[in-house]
């Protein structure tokens, strides 16, 4: 069994999983705290429509995935800002529209293309050197931007209006966050697939949420959980010959329920401080 870890494809897979796991779980903290969970789901389906169009017209699928993903989050953010529609309604409309487009593009393809389905269901074990390079570049870019703007991103997640009133460029930061969500989704599609990438964003951050009351600790826990479950899922997938995406997500889900069950927050909830 240990022979598996001597293969190049396994090294690439584990590296890709670690990066994607870390990236998704860090951006997930802001997604969960700012209440953008549904945006993650909608964006992944929009990005998948971009991939399908790329294969249909012979354009680079990752490039079109980024275009579709960014267009979706920016339209969503713009609609929310104008206050014309609730975020979940606008993303719901774009989510289903882009999914319809994806099905249409696949239907227009003359031949069955397994690579398209690789982006839908994820196939980390088949990540190529070039894809690893793209994942590395985007991971460094997204994590770098999060690190640089972490205090503003935390503040808008806490209260965007208060942040704006305090002199923080809150609108700019909100659109930066949406952009980073879209990039993260695109980076992660090949690894866990368009359907399950949402879980990679949501579950580690929600698990960490059960364990701490501090923003910094929450981010560190989420990252540790994201990397561990992604790498652990790939190993389980390789050893047990299971699809990688579901293995990662189900492992993360098991950890989530353990955290809910053992959450110190649940135990403390019955004993708040009472004075003044």
Partner 1 sequence: MLIDRQEPIIRFEHASFGFPGVMALQDISLTIHDGEFVGVIGPNGSGKTTLCRAILGLMAPIEGHLHIFDCACEELRCHHRAKIGYLPQKGVVDRNFPVTVLETVMMGRYGSLGLFRHPNAKDRKIVTDALAHVSMDGHQDTALGHLSGGQQQRVFIARALAQQPKVLLLDELTTGLDITTQHNVIELVQQLHEELKLTVLLITHDINMIRSRVDRLVLLKTKLYAAAPPADVLKPNILREVYGKDLVITKKDLVIVEDYHHHH
In the complex, the smallest distance separating the C-beta of residue 212 from partner 1, rounded to whole angstroms, is 6
**Given candidates 16, 124, 218, 259, which one binds partner 1 under the rule CB under 8 A?**
218
Q: Which is nearer to partner 1, 29 or 189 (CB)?
A: 29
In the complex, the smallest distance separating the C-beta of residue 123 from partner 1, rounded to whole angstroms, is 35
Piece of 20-28, 112-120, 211-219, 247-255 that binds partner 1 (CB under 8 A): 211-219
Q: Which of residues 139-168 bind partner 1 (CB under 8 A)?
A: 148-149, 151-152, 154-155, 158-159, 161-168
How many residues lie near partner 1 (CB under 8 A)? 31
- Please tell me whether residue 26 binds partner 1 under the rule CB under 8 A: no
**Given candidates 111, 130, 214, 270, which one binds partner 1 under the rule CB under 8 A?**
214
In the complex, the smallest distance separating the C-beta of residue 167 from partner 1, rounded to whole angstroms, is 3
Q: What is the DSSP string of the chain?
A: -GGGGGSHHHHHHHHHHHHHHHHHHHHHHHHHHHT-HHHHHHHHHHHHHHHHHHHHHTS-HHHHHHHHHHHHHHHHHHHHHHTSS-HHHHHHHHHHHHHHHHHHHHHH-SS--HHHHHHHH--GGG--HHHHHHHHHHHHHHHHHHHHTHHHHHHHHHHHHHHHHTT--HHHHHHHHHHHHHHHHHHHHHHHHHHHHHHHHHHHHHHHHTT-S-HHHHHHHHHHHHHHHHHHHHHHHHHHT--HHHHHHHHHHHHHHHHHHH-HHHHHTT------
- Please tell me whether residue 273 binds partner 1 under the rule CB under 8 A: yes
Tell me the two tokens of residue 71: 């267009």
In the complex, the smallest distance separating the C-beta of residue 127 from partner 1, rounded to whole angstroms, is 33
- Please tell me whether residue 130 binds partner 1 under the rule CB under 8 A: no
- CA 148/CA 2 separation, integer angstroms: 40
Residue with tokens 């390789």: 238
Q: Which is nearer to partner 1, 111 or 270 (CB)?
A: 270
CB 10 within 8 A of CB 4: yes
- CA 17/CA 33 separation, integer angstroms: 24
**Given candidates 134, 215, 224, 250, which one binds partner 1 under the rule CB under 8 A?**
215
- Please tell me whether residue 275 binds partner 1 under the rule CB under 8 A: yes
Site string for partner 1, 168-207 (x = CB under 8 A): xx--------------------------------------
- CA 19/CA 178 separation, integer angstroms: 20
Q: Which is nearer to partner 1, 93 or 145 (CB)?
A: 145
In the complex, the smallest distance separating the C-beta of residue 254 from partner 1, rounded to whole angstroms, is 22
In the complex, the smallest distance separating the C-beta of residue 218 from partner 1, rounded to whole angstroms, is 5
Residues of this chain that interact with partner 1 (CB under 8 A) are: 33, 148-149, 151-152, 154-155, 158-159, 161-169, 209, 212-216, 218, 268, 272-276
């Amino acid at each position: 069994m240990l022979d598996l870890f001597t293969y190049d494809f396994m090294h690439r897979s584990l590296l890709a999983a670690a990066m994607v796991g870390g990236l998704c779980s860090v951006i997930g903290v802001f997604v969960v705290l700012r209440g953008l969970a549904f945006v993650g789901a909608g964006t992944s389906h929009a990005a998948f429509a971009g991939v399908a169009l790329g294969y249909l017209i012979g354009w680079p699928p990752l490039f079109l995935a980024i275009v579709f993903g960014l267009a979706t989050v920016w339209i969503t953010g713009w609609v929310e800002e104008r206050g014309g529609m609730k975020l979940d309604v606008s993303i719901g409309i774009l989510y289903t529209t882009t999914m319809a487009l994806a099905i249409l593009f696949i239907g227009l393809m003359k031949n069955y293309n397994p690579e398209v389905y690789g982006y839908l269901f994820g196939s980390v074990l088949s990540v190529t050197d070039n894809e690893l390079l793209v994942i590395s570049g985007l991971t460094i870019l997204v994590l770098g931007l999060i690190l640089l703007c972490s205090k503003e991103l935390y503040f808008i997640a806490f209260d965007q209006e208060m942040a704006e009133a305090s002199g923080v460029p809150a609108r700019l930061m909100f659109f930066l966050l949406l952009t980073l969500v879209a990039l993260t989704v695109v980076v992660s599609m090949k690894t866990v697939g368009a359907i399950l990438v949402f879980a990679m964003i949501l579950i580690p951050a929600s698990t960490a949420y059960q364990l701490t009351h501090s923003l910094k600790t929450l981010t560190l826990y989420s990252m540790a959980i994201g990397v561990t479950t992604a790498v652990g899922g790939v190993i389980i997938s390789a050893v047990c010959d299971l699809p990688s995406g579901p293995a990662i997500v189900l492992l993360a889900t098991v950890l989530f329920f353990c955290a809910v069950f053992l959450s110190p927050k649940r135990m403390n909830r019955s004993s708040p401080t009472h004075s003044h």
